[in-house]
Structures are given as C-alpha cells and as structure tokens.
Structure 1
Amino acid sequence: QMPFAPSGYTFYRNVMDYGATGDGSTDDTAAINRAISDGNRCGENCGSTSVLGALVYFPPGTYLISTPIVQYYYTQFVGDPNDRPVIKGSANFSGIALIDTDPYIPGGDGSEWYINQNQFYRQIRNFVLDMTAMNFTNYDAGQEYVPTGIHWQVAQATSMQNIYFDMPESTSEAATTAVGIFMENGSGGFLSDLEFYGGNIGFRAGTQQYTARNLKFTSCLTGVSMIWDWGFTWKNVEFDAVWVAFDCTSVGSEDSQGTGSIAVVDSTFYSVPYAITLRNGGPYPDIILDNLLVQDSASIVLISGGDTLFEGSSGSIYIESWAYGRRYTSLDGSGTETYGLLDIAPQKPDSLLDGDGDYFTKSRPQYESYSASEFIVATANGVSNDATGDQTDAINTLLSDNVGSPIFFPAGIYMVKSTVFVPVGSIIVGEGWSQIMGTGEYFEDELNPQVMVRVGYEGDAGIIQISDMLFTVKGPTAGAVLMEWNVHESTQGSAGMWDSHFRVGGANGTDLQMSDCPKSTDSVNKDCMAASMLLHLTPSSSGYFENVWAWVADHDLDVEISSSATDTSATQLNIYVARGVLIESQGPTWFYGCASEHSILYQYQLYNAQDIYLGHIQTETPYFQDTPAADAPYTIGTFESDPTFEDCTSDSNCEKAWALQVLNSENVFIYSAGFYSFFESYSEACIDDATCQERLVETSYTQGLWMYNLFTIGATEMVYPAGGVIPPTYQGDNKNGYSTDISAWLVLSEQGGDIGSSGNEEEDGSGIVYIDPIVFGEPSPTVQCYDPCTMVLPTSTMSNSSTITYAPFTTTIIVG
C-alpha cells in the first residue's frame, strides 16, 4: 500500500485487470495506460511524488500498441522473467517510443512532463520490445519519429533489466531506422542484462553519468551513439557484427557538450570494423579501455575522416589498459595529454575477479524459480506497513524465524523505533522500494549514534540478499546510522544489495519536508538533523552493491512543480546528515552504479579499506554549504576517521564535504567518478570559475589507487594528496567542455603508502609552507614549521640587502 495516498488508491496493477488482452491482435494501448494512470497519479504538472507509487505487472502475452505507453513518476513495469511479455508496435504506431518515461508537451518548445535530472524511482524489467512491424518513420504532433523501444530520460534510483530489443535489419530496399533506447538527457542511473538485435542504433545515449552492465549488440548498424555525457561506464559489453560500436562524433546538450568520457571494461568486439569513432576537430572524450578483446577490426579508435589512433587487425587484439586524455602518473604532479597503452596496467587482486579474469558481477536476483507459496509475506505475519506503531520486534521475529526463505515486504512504510537485525541467511525482497523508516528518541542523540538496520554481526559470513528496499527516517533523528553492514561473503557475491536506496527527508511522512526544513543560509534547525551516517561497511564486512543511491534530499518530492520549470529551486530544503558512505571493508567489495549526495562531512570515505571496486560513483556537495560549513551542526570526531579540516585556511572555500576520501587504504579501483559542487550557499555564481569548493578528493597513506575517468564540476582542486609531497591536481589544467576530466590518475598506483597526513601537523610535519609577503614589512619576523617541511618565500624586491639567518640544524650531504 501507499500509506499517504488517497483512500482506495491501488499500488499493484495487473494490466489485464484494466482490459488488456495480450493476444497480439487487439490494440491494448488504452487499457495499459489506464492501468498506469489510475488514481490521479503524478503526470504532467506534478514534478515528482513519494506518495503515488505503482507496480504495473504484465502477464505473459503479446501486447499490441499504437501509441506510447507512458510510465508515470515512481513506477515499476514488471514482466514475467520466465516468459517475458512482448510489447509490439503496430504498423500504424505513432509517437516517440513504445515506452515513454518523459513525454514532450506538444507546443511546449521542448518542455516535458518532468525535470530530467530529477526523474527518480523508475524500473523496467523482463520484456521483449518488438519494433519489426513498425513503419520506418511516423509522425506525431508534427514531429517525425523513428521506431524506438524506450524513451528513457531518467536520473538516480532507476534501472532496466532483462530486456530484448527486436529491431528490423536493413534490406536491399531500405536502411533500418530503428533505435532501441533513446536517452537524450538525465542523470543516473543503472541498466543491465539487455540485448539489442538489428536496427540503426542500439542505444542513443546522452546523460550526465551512467553505468551499463552486461549488454549485447548484434547486427546493429551502430551499437551506441553517444549524444553527450560527462561520464559513462560500460562493463561486460559485447558487440557482434556491428559497423560502429561507439559513435562519439555528436555534440549535444544545451552547453554543446560532446562525449566527456567513456570507460569500456571487460568487453568484446567481434567483426566490428570501427570500434570507437571520434568527432573530427573535437571535442575529444577521455577514454579508458580495460581488458578488451577485439577481433576483425579495421580501427579500434578512429577520428572520423581523420587519423587512426589505435589500429585494428584482421586477427585478435587483447587490450590490457589503453587511455586517451589527461593522465597523471608521477609524484611531481605533472599531467600529460596523450593517448596509447598505459605503462602501468592495473594490478587487480584475484578476490575482485571472476573465473575469466573480469571484475566480478552478479545480477539482481529475481527468484524466478520460486513459487508464490515459498515467499514469507511480512504483512501476513504480524508486520504492519501503514507507517504506524513500532514494527521492530515484529520484523526481528519474522527475520529470525525464517532464515533461508525469501521474505517479501509488500510496498508500504514499516516504522521502527530501534534496531532491526538482519541475520545471515536472510533474503529480503521489497516491492516498489518498500520503506524501513526509523524514528523516535532512540535515534535522536548525535553523540550516541544508533543503528537502524544492522546486517549481520561482526565476524558473520554467509548469504544476505536485499533488493527493492528503501531505508529512511522520520525526524528528528540526528543519531541514526541507517545501515551497518557487518556480513562477509562466504562465496563470491553471496552478500549483496540491489536496487535499494537511502533517502533522508523530502518526502511525505518524514517531518523533514519543505514546510519543516525550508531552504536557508541562517541558523540550523536542530529538528532537521536527520542522520549520523547513511551506510557503514565495517572492517569485517564485504559486499556486492548495485544501483544503490544514498540521498539526503535537496528538494521536496511532494511539492508540485510545473512542467515548464527547469529546476527544483522552488522546492529546495535544508536537511542535515553528517556522513554518507563509510567503507572500512577489507574486501572484496563492489559498488556498481552507485551515488551518495549531500552529506556534510563526506559522501564516500574509504578508511583502512582494501580490495574495493567502484564504478560508476557520483556525488554532490550540500547546496547550503558553507553556511554552515562542514564543522556544523554535527560534532566532528564521533567516528574515528572524521575529517577535521584543520589545514583549511580562514579565507579558503575548503571546509566543505569531501566527495571522496581514500585514507590508509590499498587496492582501490575506480572506473568513472563524477564529483560535483554546484553551489556556494545556494548560489551558482561559483561554477564558471570553479570556486564553489576548494577540494573534492583527498588521499592519505594510500597505495594501489587506480582512478580512471575522474570528472568534476565547481572545485578548484580535483585531487588533494595530503602530506605536502604531491601537488594537488587542478581543475584549471584539465578543463574539457563543461566538466573537468582526467582519464587516468595513477600517481598512487604503485607508491604512496608512506605519503599522507594524520591530521596532526606536529607529528606529520608542515609539508610545503608558503610564507606571506608580510614578512618583508616586519622588523624581525619569525618563520617556523614542523619538520619535515619546505618553506617557500614570496618574491619581493627589497630596498637594500637583507640577511636571512637559520638556526643550526644537522643534515646529511651525499656526494657522488
């Protein structure tokens, strides 16, 4: 149920209950759209909702449609995984795509129903999309379209899985025009286990950042046509008999951004004449090719109409590590713009790899071999999902009594007032992101943090599977740790979480909405201090995490926004969460297609961690910082590894949330990371000159850090290596279109374990100290620092000669 929806509202809808036949000949368009829209749901001029969710089920069959099926906000389309339903476009089909997630408004000058970067909470899985009977062109409201499977313009907490796109091939009479997925904008997201057959373009992709895993393209003219991006990770992608695999020749988006970066990992190209084509004259993307097999290719990387940057072969070429773009490899901090094989290939631990030497992956389990009677239903066993009472004891009893059986939590809100314990062997399956919501005085003390959901105890190993859940709070809950993950895998990938998210504030029933916590740069409302931490992976843990979004709300999902709006500034709010994702795991741990946004101290922190894969990850700094700055309102030091910001100067913009800290860690592999700081106390005036924030990434005493395709916005320093030995990596040296890009930052890949800072200057030394020119105006200035340090005097012209005197010290001179 949806507890805050109007009376009689239906969450689960079977399209056949609304008149769809699935017989392959009856036009089922109207019946399916009735099933989707029933209940006055969130469509045009709504913006978003946390209240009116729906799961729309399609039984096996062939559903003939003649206009698009429109997926409303907060909707899941689910087919039978054992017998996927077919959505078939008719010969007289008109419209943008079989499934449309963000309709264009006729006469709206490009306006759509939803703001593309805020298109959250969507899912499509288990379908066949058949475009073979459709005309090669169609017209709707004066606009020409080609056969397209899905118009997918979405953001975080979205996914597609297990979909086959069936498109016609070219004939001697006509070239095929069909497109599998059309995604011209957005910010997300994750998709996996998709197959594209035939067609002109398999996937036409434009978005800020995205992760795609386990895709197969067969007999497409172009596999992937990139419109624009800041970063895109392509993992386990296979191209077979495709003319061009990645076409990166387009320029799109309102800022004329081309392809900013792509990382292609653990992928294969068979009979692909042109694997990657680039725009002649630029802009050129940063490219990472990691563990690729290419067979029968004329060119692997080619400037269209220009030079070949990476020659192909009629035989087989194995690519261990190749890059195009800016790369950093030495301690002197210098970067170079170049392309070619990387001298340093990633040294991957076996624990992170599968039997074929690829990074391990595991698709979201769908339990298709289970019968309905094998699921234990929470609401049939004394657990309430109506956002009332305290369900902690009932949930704990349910979990402990049914270890090894899949436990189904129907859609709804399960209120808890103390810790839920998830024992090893638990299988938890939600529906439409079933919510565990913590509330009450148990979670209120920020100096005494309490765990809301504890997954295993320290030292536990075995199976844990969590999917389709959402973890949240009803404030004030300043001491809540939403999840503590202790369990370690017993076999590779046995402990994991898929399509599950953390959300704090911005939703009905949380007491953390715009009316409670309005946008402000004044004093902090203590009732809006909502969590101590979102997710904590403890030292004994390991885990597999796929499509997990940890979001501190920057706007209210339940305040309506006109379809003409271009942003959510009218619904912004101030929610305060101290920490995002803390990873202390010794591995192996994988994060695929994950994000963490708007926590105060950091979004991701790796502390004493080892054997960690991250790709793609994305962050945003809180919009209200630095009013207050990161030292408020939470007490720093509650957790041992909290950043102190002690080296920030009073006039800097340094005391803001870290996007990523990698501290005392080793064997960390990052494939695409988008770190953004868009605001300075809600003003975007700082973006153009990248002064919204001084630093985004910090490293300290870390070795084996392999960071590929790092792209940032709004920060002066992309990477700040603590310790004063390695200079920062600056935005100004790496600008590439709207974003700032580095293809490979490998400075600490084989060294650096002894370079860092403990936060104690007396113990670490002062590093590089820049002397203020004021010394030349003082009669007898004293300048001092803690050893080891390097003093850099300012340049100055003095009126007469001066003598600088040093106190005696002992040193060693080596000659010869």
Structure 2
Amino acid sequence: MWSPVIFPTLYWPVRLLLTSTECLFGKMFSSLIKLLPLMVGINAQLLDIPVVDELVSSAMLPFEQYVYNTPTESTIPAVAVSTTAAKVQAAAVQAAAADNAYWLADIAHQGVAAFNSNPAGYKVFRNVKDYGAKGDGVTDDTAAINAAISAGGRFGPASRHSSTTTPAIVYFPPGTYIISTSIIDYYFTQLIGNANAIPVLKATAGFVGLGLIDGDQYQNDGNQGWTSTNVFFRQIRNLKLDLTAIPAGTAATGIHWPTGQASSIQNVQIAMSAASGTQHQGIFIENGMLHCVSLLEHSNVVIGSGGWMSDVTITGGLYGANVGNQQFTMRNLVISNAVTAISQIWDWGWTYQGLVITNCQTALSISNGGVGNQLVGSVNVLDSTIQNCPTFVTTAWQSSTYSTGSLILENIALNNVPVAVKGASGTVLVGSAGSSTISAWGQGHKYTPNGPANFQGSFTPPTRPSALLASGSTRYYTKSKPQYAASPVASFVSTRSAGARGDGSTDDTNAIQSALTSAAAANKILFFDQGTYKITRTLYVPPGSRIVGEAYSVIMATGGTWSNINNPVPVIQIGQPGQSGSIEWSDMIVSTAGSTPGAVLIQWNLAANVGSGMWDVHTRIGGFQGSQQQVAQCPTGAAVSAACQVAYMSMHITSAASNVYLENVWLWTADHDLESPTDARISVYSGRGLLVEGKNVWLYGTGSEHHSLYQYQFSSASSIMAGFVQSETPYYQPNPNAANGPYPRNSTLKDPDYSSCLGGNCNSLGLRVLNSKNVIIYGAGLYSFFNNYSTTCSTFPLPENCQSMIFSVEGSTSGLVVYGLNTVGTTYMIVKDGVALAQVSDNLATYAATIAYFTL
C-alpha cells in the first residue's frame, strides 16, 4: 500500500480545530507544515501554509502533554499505586479470573521464527508477567509490558523499519495493569488478553502519552515512526482500557491506531470520563491528510490504509472514535455516553455495520471542513441502532459538482432520535421521539445507471438476498473471528507436535496433511505454531476443519508442482467439488517462494455450512525473508523474469462453492521489500487476485492488490455482500500492461480481454463483474497511483489517467448496487460493456473521486 507524500507530523489532528477554517488538518508539528518525500525516487513539493501554523499554535495548547520523547525501558520507573480502590479492583479481577483458563495461555508454545537470525533463541509468545508485570492494580507495569513487546531485537516505531522475522504475541493474563505512559506497539505484534477474563490496562491520573496503546508513536523529529500505509500484520484483542483516573479535562486517548492492511482490533473495551467538559477519546486514527483552502487546491496528500475493527465497546469521552483513514471497515461498535460517538476526521471511504450508539449528543459527525470544503469522501452505515441521541448524523453536504460528503444509510433503527440528519442549515431528515426505521437514505452523486445526478433523500433499497441474512432478521449475517474461548487446551492439536518443523527449509507437506486429516476426523482444532511451513504439494483441507495460527503462521509453497504457468495448481484446497460441511480458518498467511507462476494460493470448493469462513487469513506474495523475491532478486526496472513470477491467482471461490465468509482478508502481491530499511520497491508478478464464481459470499473488509490481470472478478456469481473492498493496480504497469504481461489470458476462467480498451493505458482492473446477479457492495476503493512507478498520472484533481478504466460491468449482470465508489488514477470510474458510464471529472471529491450510489 502506497502513501504518496506525508507531512511532517504534528502532535494532534487539526480536526480539533474550528471546523470553519479553510485548511483544517494534517499530521501536526507546532511550527511548520512541509511536504516530505517518503517514497524512494519521488520528489515532493514544499508547501507552507501560515494559517495552519497559527491555528496549530493555538490549538496545541491544551495538548502539550502529548509532545513527549520516547521513554526507554530503563527510565520508566516501577512505582506503586497505593490507592485502596485500585487494590480492591485488582483483587476482584484476579478472584474472578481464578477459574478462567484460556487455551492460548495453556498450550505449549514451541513456535519458531524461521528466518530470524537466531530462531532457536527468539521467543514468539511472551507473557507480560514473565517480564515483570504484576497485574495487581498497584504496581506500575509500563516498563515490564514494553519490555515484553520489545525483547529479542524487534522493530519498534523508532527504528522506522519493518520485518517479517520477528513476529510476536504479547499475552496479558487476567489482572489490572497500571500504566503511566504509553504501551508502544511494535511491528508484527499481537497484543492479546485472556478472552475469558478480560485484563485491564488502567491509566494513572498523571498518565502521559498519545494513547494507552500507541500504535505508531511520534518520534522526536515530529514524525510518526512508520508510514501508516506500511504498518501491517498486527492485532489488539481481549483488553479493557480504563482512562477514568485521568482528569476529565485532560486530553487523553485509549488507542492511537494509524495502520495499514492485515491489522485488526477485536473484543476491546474502552472506559473514559463522561463528566462535563471531558477531553477523552477512545480510538484515534489521524494519518494526516491535508485538504486545503478549497476543493480545487488539493495539494499532495497523506493517506493511511486500513483496516478492520469489530466488537469494540466504548463508554464516555468527548469522542468515542475520532478517526480518519483512506478506508476502513468497522463492525459492532457499541458507544454510549460520549459527546460525539464517532467523529469522522476525513476519509475516502468508510463502512460502519452494526453500530449501537446510545446517549450521545451526536452519533456520527461527517461535517468536518464545512460547506464547500467537506473532508469526508463517503460513509456507509448499515444495520445499526441509534437510541437516545438528539442527532444521528451531522453533515455539511451541498448539491454541487463535487461529491464529498457522500452518505448512505440503510436499515437503521432509531429510538428517541429527534433529528436523523442535520445539515449546515438545519434538519435535513427528521427522526422521531419514538421508534422508527430508516430503510434507505442518502446524499451525493448517483448513477442509475446513467448520471451523475445530485440527490439527497430516501430511496428504495435493493432486495437483500435471503441467503445472506441472519436467521430471522433483515440484517446481514455476520460472525466474529472464532477465539475458541470455551475450548480447553485438550481440544487442540499442535502442528509441530504432529511432526511438522516450520523451519522454512524442511518439507512439511506430509506432516501437515496428516495433521489436517486426523484433526478434522477427531473434531480437534489444529494449531499452527508460529513457523514457516514449506510445502511442495497441494494441502487438502477436509470438511470439519478448524485451523488457527500463532502470530500469522506461514504456509509457503515452493517447487515444481507450481512451475507451469499454463497448469494452475492450488496450494491450499478447501474441500473438493461436491463436498459440503464446515471450516473455520484464522490468523495465518499463505505465501510462495521462488518461481511459482502456476500457484493458486487458496482454492475454495466447499459447499459450506453458514458460518464457515476465513478470518485474518492473508496471501503474501514476495517481498519477505525466505521468499527469494526481495529487492536483490526482483528490483524495479529489471526485465520480467521467471524468477519473479510468483502466483497464478491469490484466491479462487469456484462455482461449486457456497456460503463463503471472508473477514479482514488481504490478498497482497508485494510492492516493496518488507525487510528493507527504506521499503525498497520490487517488481514481482502475479496473475489474478480474487475470482468468485460461487454463490452466497460475504466479503467483509477485504483487499486485493497488485495482480496483473485483475484484483476482483465476480464471474457468473450470485448473492454477494461486500464492504469495504479495496484494490491497487500494480505499480509497474503499463510496463508491461495487462494485455502484454507475463500471464496470458485464460478464456476458461473468463479472464478480461484486453485486446481492446478505452483510450489510455490498459492496466489491471480493480473490479470486474461479469454475468453475475445480486451483488451489493457497501464501499469500494479502486486505486491506480502509478505508471511505471511514476505518480504524475494520479495527481489531483486531474489528469487521473494512470489507466483508462478500473471498474467494468459486463454481460447479463443484474441486481448490482455499489454504495460509496471511490477511485484514484482512472479516467473512467464505471464502464459497462465497453461504454463509459461515469468519469472522474464529474465526480471530484477528496483525493479520490466518489460516487455515492450506482445501480444496474
């Protein structure tokens, strides 16, 4: 994922400035805003905006405590917090947890970081109590927790370095952990608490730091450690963050979370002060986008690229969530007693599902920037409940040629919400003192299928396929990632104990296949201890399988089985055509090593039971230690070589498949070397992203990037619910382009025919819908930033001509609805059977062009 240019960061989002200002936010530094190049080989212009400097200087005064130097382990004192209340709380928590065993803590931890410089000595699983944390509600555990995270030569934000060689789970047993400064998250880290007795991170009254958990700490030079678009592979789960000891008038944050793909927050609680004048916020995501002066004066921008969040409960605060990112999917946020439940700082596209918001003055604010300069591109809200709030949504939308502030509300239950939507001039949509339902309401540009037409008002929603709905409900079916909290450790089988080595060099094919077969037969859960498991033949996953990884265990395919580009072979085969049953698979990565142009990384054939799926399972193709496709082997500018042809397809949901549920799944062909200190670019080649030919498919928070022919293709598929879907075109195109790349067209798979394109570059499609029916998409971001590694084709507002088209609808497709379509770098946003329906110049918005509503 790419970030074009980033502003030297300041310490608090200018979102907190008055919304009447014309240039509102970026990443903050107290005396300047200048563009810096973060991309190798890309030069950025300098931009100095005095009005921002002045506003920042005044706005920063309440937040000076967030300007802090990185504390070291040796300088954080271990102090006692001797309040009676803290001791009582800790005793109560520990007593309640006495009988709450959790398999993740109890299982033998024998994982190995295969490509670490010292795999035998490196510890993957870390219990914070082994590093001195007490969890007694009295002792300051900050230093011990940070030591557990950092031990073993790992990469923190101060290093500005990523690596796949130092994965870690940092485990919190039940207890109350007193912290006085931020817990600093590291790259490739999972912070996980006991799912049966949620541990508490409790801030002291004098807490200092931007977040009890800081996911990308600001450094002494005023910049975040990592570029947020490149912070991958991390999680926070099963924790409660308690800010209530911090005075209400002191600005404080639960989680600071600038992040990229393959990241998630799940089953987290955040408690804050609800007192008058509270300055607390639960979740803060800024990622520093500058939107300046007017829609016609977008300069280079900074973007973040996430992400997934679910099952988060937030109480109190000025903001429950104060968030901005390129795109995000959030589900089951339960927010109560905040002033504003969700403040949308900025975005290109955002999807909220299953919100429950209670007793807040405003449930959702998307008005940042004000009339004529709104900073929010598009927001979709569905299947949600808003109760006892004076206002549901505040917006600054106006009917114009620009499409910022696009909003779709679908299937929203209101209870005692007098104003459903409030605009700059007053009430736009009336709520009610009692109970009512918003069936479907929106604002923005619409195409039905021709357009654009400005609209603001109610409309008839699409008929949702009954197979996609929860039992007895009008809401879509959802299922959170299984954590097996109620399963004892005896329910698990270790892959390493079954004979696999996971050392990246031993052929583990036979051992893993045996473990898969026997675990399913015995109704056991197969635990992949951390490791890189080399395989040389297809692994068959039988019905009844339940599989969970440790810190993103890797299955790595290599060898002659996948050497023929004209004979694709699956790496992982889920069921066989004609089979039915269930499968659950979570927290793993599927990769290749060496030349494997015939590899289909995941093939799903199973006619599955509802509830079967993949959660936090990703494909990572090239760009990591052990892949044999890093910058030394596959530099940019080199001729296409067989050594850098890495996959035929990332994932294929075949015509035999049904009831396939994907959540937070990222299908990524690497654009840069994850081990490079400079994020050096590489050119590796894969053919296809996600091909869906089956029926009854849920795609929640998915991404597909850098495949040569397409990122998503729905071909003769039916009943698909998707949101948010995100794609990127390969950076090397059009050198070669999609028509002349290393992967020839396969007519059997209905590959796109690029022999004739609309005028312009014929590059990989982000989304192709062919002969499919009943496809409903709640948010899509289809991006093309580069031509042969140059970004001059994607500058805002125009030319936006990296490629001619990026979303193609073809054949007998029917029942297609797309809410919140966002594109970058393409001349035409929607093309139907070779005819352009929508072009960028009619739908300019933020950095991305936006269409609120498209139907066919």
TM bracket (short chain): 0.7 to 0.9
Match of 1:698 in 2: 808
Q: For 1:272-309, what per-residue CA distance to the aligned partner results, in whole angstroms no more than 9, with x for missing partners?
A: 111111238798411000101112222211124x2322
Aligned counterparts, 1:626-775, within 5 A: 626-631=734-739, 632-637=741-746, 639-648=748-757, 652-688=759-795, 689-700=799-810, 701-722=812-833, 724=835, 727-746=836-855, 748=856
Alpha-carbon distance in 1 for matches of 2:773, 2:594 = 37
Alpha-carbon distance in 1 for matches of 2:124, 2:208 = 29
CA contact (8 A) 2:593 2:626 kept: yes
- Structure 1 letter corresponding to 2:465: P
After TM superposition, give the deviation of residue 681 of structure 1 in Å: 1.0
Task: Please tell me whether residue 601 in structure 1 is matched to residue 701 in structure 2.
Answer: no
Q: For 1:457-513, what per-residue CA distance to the aligned partner results, in whole angstroms no more than 9, with x for missing partners?
A: 0011111000001000002101100010011222x22x2000110010110000010
After TM superposition, give the deviation of residue 723 of structure 1 in Å: 5.7
Task: Please tell me whether residue 192 in structure 1 is matched to residue 310 in structure 2.
Answer: yes
Match of 1:557 in 2: 674
After TM superposition, give the deviation of residue 6 of structure 1 in Å: 2.5
Alpha-carbon distance in 2 for matches of 1:90, 1:501 = 38
1:463 to 561, 566, 582: 582
Q: For 1:698-753, what per-residue CA distance to the aligned partner results, in whole angstroms no more than 9, with x for missing partners?
A: 111200101111010110011100065xx42111111112211011001x1xxxxx
Match of 2:235 in 1: 123
After TM superposition, give the deviation of residue 614 of structure 1 in Å: 0.6
1:527 partner SS: helix
Match of 2:524 in 1: 405
Residues 59 and 384 (structure 1), Cα distance of their counterparts in 2 relative to 1, 3 Å cut: same
CA contact (8 A) 2:163 2:187 kept: yes
Structure 1 window deviating more from structure 2 (44-53 vs 601-610): it is: 44-53
- Structure 2 letter corresponding to 1:657: S
Q: For 1:433-466, what per-residue CA distance to the aligned partner results, in whole angstroms no more than 9, with x for missing partners?
A: 1000000011111011111110000011111000
- Structure 2 letter corresponding to 1:279: A
Match of 1:83 in 2: 197
Match of 1:617 in 2: 725
After TM superposition, give the deviation of residue 192 of structure 1 in Å: 0.3
Alpha-carbon distance in 1 for matches of 2:504, 2:447 = 51
Q: For 1:176-207, what per-residue CA distance to the aligned partner results, in whole angstroms no more than 9, with x for missing partners?
A: 11111011122111010010111111000110
CA contact (8 A) 2:650 2:689 kept: yes
After TM superposition, give the deviation of residue 243 of structure 1 in Å: 0.7
Alpha-carbon distance in 1 for matches of 2:747, 2:237 = 42
Alpha-carbon distance in 1 for matches of 2:311, 2:432 = 29
Q: For 1:355-394, what per-residue CA distance to the aligned partner results, in whole angstroms no more than 9, with x for missing partners?
A: 2210110000000111112210110111111111211111
1:57 to 146, 154, 171: 171
Match of 2:362 in 1: 244
2:639 to 490, 502, 523: 523
Residues 335 and 257 (structure 1), Cα distance of their counterparts in 2 relative to 1, 3 Å cut: closer
Match of 2:466 in 1: 350
Residues 126 and 601 (structure 1), Cα distance of their counterparts in 2 relative to 1, 3 Å cut: same
Task: Please tell me whether residue 302 in structure 1 is matched to residue 412 in structure 2.
Answer: no
Task: Please tell me whether residue 16 in structure 1 is matched to residue 129 in structure 2.
Answer: yes
RMSD: 1.6
Alpha-carbon distance in 1 for matches of 2:249, 2:305 = 29
Match of 1:361 in 2: 478
Q: For 1:71-116, what per-residue CA distance to the aligned partner results, in whole angstroms no more than 9, with x for missing partners?
A: 101100000111000000011111111000100012x13x111011
2:503 partner SS: coil
Task: Please tell me whether residue 539 in structure 1 is matched to residue 648 in structure 2.
Answer: no
Task: Please tell me whether residue 323 in structure 1 is matched to residue 434 in structure 2.
Answer: no
CA contact (8 A) 1:580 1:602 kept: yes
Task: Please tell me whether residue 427 in structure 1 is matched to residue 535 in structure 2.
Answer: no
After TM superposition, give the deviation of residue 137 of structure 1 in Å: 5.4
Match of 2:115 in 1: 4
Match of 1:386 in 2: 503
After TM superposition, give the deviation of residue 317 of structure 1 in Å: 2.2
TM-score, normalised relative to structure 1: 0.86
Alpha-carbon distance in 1 for matches of 2:353, 2:161 = 32
Which protein is bigger by CA-based radius of gyration? 1
After TM superposition, give the deviation of residue 257 of structure 1 in Å: 6.8
Task: Please tell me whether residue 376 in structure 1 is matched to residue 493 in structure 2.
Answer: yes
Alpha-carbon distance in 2 for matches of 1:243, 1:334 = 36
Gaps of 5+ in 2: 1-111, 288-303
Match of 1:112 in 2: 224
Structure 1 window deviating more from structure 2 (421-430 vs 639-648): it is: 639-648
1:351 partner SS: helix
After TM superposition, give the deviation of residue 402 of structure 1 in Å: 1.6
After TM superposition, give the deviation of residue 654 of structure 1 in Å: 3.9
Alpha-carbon distance in 1 for matches of 2:834, 2:726 = 26
Structure 1 window deviating more from structure 2 (270-279 vs 635-644): it is: 635-644
CA contact (8 A) 1:229 1:257 kept: no
Gaps of 5+ in 1: 139-145, 562-567, 749-816
2:209 partner SS: coil
Q: For 1:745-788, what per-residue CA distance to the aligned partner results, in whole angstroms no more than 9, with x for missing partners?
A: 01x1xxxxxxxxxxxxxxxxxxxxxxxxxxxxxxxxxxxxxxxx
Q: For 1:645-667, what per-residue CA distance to the aligned partner results, in whole angstroms no more than 9, with x for missing partners?
A: 12226xx3342101000001000
Residues 153 and 377 (structure 1), Cα distance of their counterparts in 2 relative to 1, 3 Å cut: same
Alpha-carbon distance in 2 for matches of 1:6, 1:511 = 17
Alpha-carbon distance in 1 for matches of 2:535, 2:697 = 28
CA contact (8 A) 1:93 1:135 kept: no
Alpha-carbon distance in 1 for matches of 2:404, 2:366 = 8
After TM superposition, give the deviation of residue 136 of structure 1 in Å: 3.5
Size of the alignment, in residue pairs? 713
- Structure 1 letter corresponding to 2:427: T
Alpha-carbon distance in 1 for matches of 2:751, 2:385 = 42
After TM superposition, give the deviation of residue 249 of structure 1 in Å: 2.4
Alpha-carbon distance in 1 for matches of 2:601, 2:388 = 49
- Structure 1 letter corresponding to 2:423: I
CA contact (8 A) 2:404 2:850 kept: no
CA contact (8 A) 1:278 1:284 kept: no
Task: Please tell me whether residue 577 in structure 1 is matched to residue 689 in structure 2.
Answer: no
Match of 1:505 in 2: 622
CA contact (8 A) 1:259 1:283 kept: no
- Structure 1 letter corresponding to 2:804: E
2:776 partner SS: strand
2:159 partner SS: coil
Alpha-carbon distance in 1 for matches of 2:760, 2:733 = 10
- Structure 1 letter corresponding to 2:435: S
Structure number having the greater helix percentage: 2
After TM superposition, give the deviation of residue 4 of structure 1 in Å: 1.3
Alpha-carbon distance in 2 for matches of 1:189, 1:405 = 31
Alpha-carbon distance in 1 for matches of 2:558, 2:141 = 44
After TM superposition, give the deviation of residue 638 of structure 1 in Å: 6.2
Alpha-carbon distance in 1 for matches of 2:243, 2:316 = 10
CA contact (8 A) 2:404 2:846 kept: no
Residues 534 and 256 (structure 1), Cα distance of their counterparts in 2 relative to 1, 3 Å cut: farther
Q: For 1:242-293, what per-residue CA distance to the aligned partner results, in whole angstroms no more than 9, with x for missing partners?
A: 11011112249xx987111110000011011111112387984110001011
- Structure 2 letter corresponding to 1:294: L
Alpha-carbon distance in 2 for matches of 1:400, 1:709 = 43
1:397 partner SS: helix
TM-score, normalised relative to structure 2: 0.82
2:395 to 264, 275, 278: 278
Residues 247 and 707 (structure 1), Cα distance of their counterparts in 2 relative to 1, 3 Å cut: same
- Structure 2 letter corresponding to 1:603: Q
